[in-house]
Amino acid sequence: MRVAMIGTGYVGLVSGACFADFGHVVCCVDKDPSKIDRLNQGQMPIFEPGLEDLVANNVRSGRLSFAVDGAKAIAAADAVFIAVGTPSRRGDGHADLSYVYAAAEEIADLIEGFTVIVTKSTVPVGTGDEIERIIRARRPEAEFAVVSNPEFLREGAAIEDFKRPDRVVVGTEDERAQVVMTELYRPLSLNETPILFTARRTSELTKYAANAFLALKITFINEMADLCEAVGADVQQVARGIGLDKRIGSKFLHAGPGYGGSCFPKDTLALVRTATDAGSPVRLVETTVQVNDARKKAMVDRVALALGGALSGKTVALLGLTFKPNTDDMRDSPALDVIPALVAGGAIVQAFDPEGMVEAAKLLDGVRFTDGPYEAITGADVVVILTEWDQFRALDLDRIKLLMRQPVMVDLRNVYRPIDMRSRGFRYSSIGRA
């Protein structure tokens, strides 16, 4: 089948490359000429393991291409995917749908024959109705169906998630659209992937409900971690104890500095606004947002406590800047709350991240970015592990002690074991453990 993917951000590029790898002919369209130029030169605008090779292979095969002008690709497409950004709108937390609606207007003028128009972007309930209204108003005679097909991709594991998903959710009651969507995802039938067809509004809400539930789960275990510290329990053992219950599951039960990233912060806010506007508030989600925001800010207090209560004049080695490992995504990373507060408190911050420093430099002031973890640690009064990159899991602790002014570590991801750190002579602080 022929696919046009509007948007070459995280979702659009990964989805387009994976559809091409399924055997479909895909053209990814973006208004940014510099981004398209880089893609045509084989340069990825994001870091995602395996993506560069996947794109290169499918470009060579002739199944994947990139363009600024999407007219030909849209006119020839069986399905046109809208995969543009829906950031939180300033002031009220609603999703900004201006890019989605602009894409709908462009698509309306270009489609030929029956075309399935698919919202891959995360959009509030009812957005598909508005897209349909926009297109119908511009092209009353056009044959099309607007479908919701939310993405459930984890950054750092997106290709695996696309090719071996837990499920595919498709929101449409149009029979012709169902046939097209079934064919697009037919390669997944080898893995017996469930494809759930629902009404469009149900599909749109499913995406928000999934992200809100996972955000709630993270926030729950973070609060349990605080309680563990207060009563002398171990949050990792608590997480395992409840995670082995199949009704609960072990995923997203890792205590830390709070969730961030491109999805959970904006999607929880958007769901809260949607629910409030509908007169059916979601109190658990509202509380989750508030608790998570406060938690990220509270991490600085842990660093100050490890230093005897004072930050001024202290050198902090910060390992990890991105909101999670295996991505260069800085959106709503805990680092964006922690670092400014450290600097405001008079601390000197030396930081290293394997992939995130270019983006971090655009967002953070007063930070010295280094070439590696040991360079960041040199002369530090405390090491803070903020992101659990693999290369931080087996640091040479004896070397660290020699490089530091004093052997102090604040491990906000519970990478190390307290007993091991104490035996090496470190003053060690972690999350939810004695």
Give me the active site residues, please.
Answer: 263
- Check if the beta carbon of residue 334 is closer than 8 Å to that of residue 313: no
Give the separation between CA 340 and CA 346, rounded to whole angstroms. 10
- State both tokens at 83: 């995969």
CA dist 237 to 213, 224, 385, 416, Å? 22, 11, 21, 15
> How far does CA 309 lie from the centroid of its chain?
34
DSSP state of 190: G
- Check if the beta carbon of residue 374 is closer than 8 Å to that of residue 399: yes
Q: Could you give the 3-state DSSP secondary structure of residue 251? A: coil
R_g over Cα of the chain: 23
- Check if the beta carbon of residue 272 is closer than 8 Å to that of residue 289: yes
Nearest CA to 345 among 309, 383, 376? Answer: 309
> What value, to the nearest 5°, has the Cα angle with vertex 39 and ends 38 and 42?
90
**Paired strand residues for 196:** 169
Give the separation between CA 39 and CA 432, rounded to whole angstroms. 44
Angle between helices 283-306 and 335-344 (to 10 degrees): 40
Give the separation between CA 103 and CA 419, rounded to whole angstroms. 56
Give the separation between CA 432 and CA 234, rounded to whole angstroms. 6
Give the separation between CA 79 and CA 134, rounded to whole angstroms. 17
- What is the DSSP annotation of 135-147? HHHH-TT--EEEE
Give the separation between CA 104 and CA 142, rounded to whole angstroms. 13
